[in-house]
Amino acid sequence: MNKYVSLFFVNILCAMNLAIAATEGAISVCSDQQSDIVCTESGAVRGSLEGDTLAFKAIPYAAPPVGALRWRPPVKPVAWTGIRDGSNYGASCPQLVDNRVEGQEDCLFINVWRPTQKPTKPLPVMIWLTGGGNHVFSGAGSFGFGKVVYNGRALVPNDVIVVTYNLRLGVFGFLAHPALDQERTEKVSGNYGSLDQVEMLRWVNRNIAAFGGDPSRVFLFGTSAGGGNICALLTSPLTTGLIHGVAMQSSVPIGCELQTLADAENGTGAEVSKRVGCVNQTDTAACLREKSVNELVSALPGTFTVFPRLYGPNVDGVVFPQQPIERIQQKNYPPVPIIIGDTKDETMQFVNSVGPITDAASYYAAIARVFGMTARDQIVEHYPLSNYPTPRAAFVQVTTDAQFTCQSRRLARTFASVQKPPVYRYVFAHSLENDPVQKALGAIHTIEHPFLFNWEGSYQPTAIDKKIQSLMLNYWANMAKVGNPNGPGVLTWPDAGKNGDTYLEISAASQVRQTLAQTHCDFWDTVKLPQPHL
């Protein structure tokens, strides 16, 4: 049999097996237990060995969003013939990295890691939603602690399937503008990256059985913008039935609150169109589409500060009908088991954005700059400098409590009060002792990443690091499997309770604790935090 006839039969088998999996929930029988070929709805893909996993990379889950599809909802990919090579990552989406524009618009790829042997029963699926303010770190990108590579090599041995993916970022993923509203029957714009995430979840629902995954056990976990996106997606009517558990880690935007469509149009939308010369044009949408990737990405970069400039979802009445927090309070979302948490020193690497904080005067000025003059004296009363080793340490505590720790408690309390599935809260309080720079920074934003993935960078983990990693991998995998982090060999992690106060401190001596008085969360529940701005 020549290779063309053989490929023809492979594609026929793919179509047949996906139909069987869809109608009977069966594992794909595209190939035998030793095969590295899996059939998706668009065609066959060959995986490659990666540690103790079989990795299938760069599978298109949507058509390239280029040309007329720029700033349009994603559409299904074109089917391919033959067997697609899944050994290398696809291109990342356009983003600004070290002041260079990297990536390309043809970037809507998904990656799947499974055990080397085809599972004999469907495994839960863990989908990673990367952080990066919705403007960087998509795809095989990495950051923090000497390259954290987001793959499934650490988690898959815990009997799960791991998925990562790209979504449109920044100006391509979230540009909202009245001219783009007019192109849609719904008269809305922005949220293209969120629609990519919805399409990715639909792809997983239709295809993951072919990899040995269970589409009825899909668990989302993500940090920073990834955590914020999870809260939004959980409340979207477009994801009903697609999400069965979540871990929202150090979530941004804070409090499960999004900008409105008007905010996005009058903010980043107006500023981008101005900077690229598309104001007062006869056809503004056409003008924007004529601009190059470099021009658009460079026009208005996102920032990382105490209150960052973020691209991201907006409440448009369609993808997100109302504020996620409101839908949660109204029980207008599918309740699922939830992990909510943050790190002990979240804002350590961001506080320099407000200037040096070296004495009382600069401490008071930084608080006024971030929270407003009206709130300054109240905050100083709760966080007197005499309680902290330095003014900078005091400001880190103020902003970490305000933006993360107390927001985590508030969300845990809200979820626990409206749903039956359990809510678990944590604070990651471990620092990387084997590197003097990282040790001095403490438990900063995103520090938990290598504990959920692999140590693939320059940092050499200690025995304690590996012990904590084993604990976290067990907790997160157990949540994906049964909706409860507890199991043999791990410290019992109780749920947060109706008041959201009970949490697990993850550290060298992990322990269950209650919300500490010095975080002043009752006080922060009364403070309306300012929103990010240009």
Q: Would you list the domain boundaries of the chain?
A: 3-315, 348-440+484-524
Asked which of 48-62, 79-93, 257-271, 340-354 is least confident by mean pLDDT, the reply is 340-354
28 vs 236, higher pLDDT: 236
Residue range 103-130: mean pLDDT, rounded? 95
* CATH (residue range 3-315): 3.40.50.1820
pLDDT value, residue 27: 37
- Does 431 qualify as catalytic in the annotation? no
Amino acid letter, residue 17: N
Amino acid letter for position 443:
A
What per-residue confidence (pLDDT) applies to 10?
45
User: CA 477, 479, 480: angle at the middle one, nearest 5?
Assistant: 65
What's residue 33's pLDDT? 47
Q: What is the pLDDT of residue 25?
A: 38
Q: What is the mean pLDDT of residues 173-191?
A: 96
Specify the pLDDT at position 141: 40
Tell me what the pLDDT averaged over the chain comes to: 89
Share of residues in the chain with pLDDT > 90 (%): 77
Q: H-type helices in 148-269, by residue range?
A: 170-174, 178-181, 192-207, 225-234, 261-264
pLDDT at 30: 54
Q: Please state at what angle helix 192-207 crosses helix 225-234, rounded to 10 degrees.
A: 70
Contact 14, 8 (CB under 8 A): no
pLDDT for position 253: 73
Neighbour-count burial of 356, counting CB atoms closer than 10 A to its CB (0-12 exposed, 13-18 middle, 19+ buried): exposed
Lowest mean pLDDT among 85-89, 249-253, 502-506: 249-253
- pLDDT > 70: percent of the chain: 90
Q: Which of 194, 224, 236, 251 is catalytic?
A: 224
Which comes out higher in pLDDT, residue 368 or 350?
368
Q: What is the pLDDT of residue 148?
A: 76
Residues 358-409: pLDDT tens digits? 999 999 999 999 899 999 999 999 999 999 999 999 999 999 999 999 999 9
Instruction: Determine whether 159 is exposed, middle or buried from the number of CB atoms within 10 Å of its CB (0-12, 13-18, 19+).
Output: middle
Split at pLDDT 50, 70, 90, the class of 9 is very low
What integer pLDDT is reported at residue 149 of this predicted model? 83
pLDDT of residue 307: 65
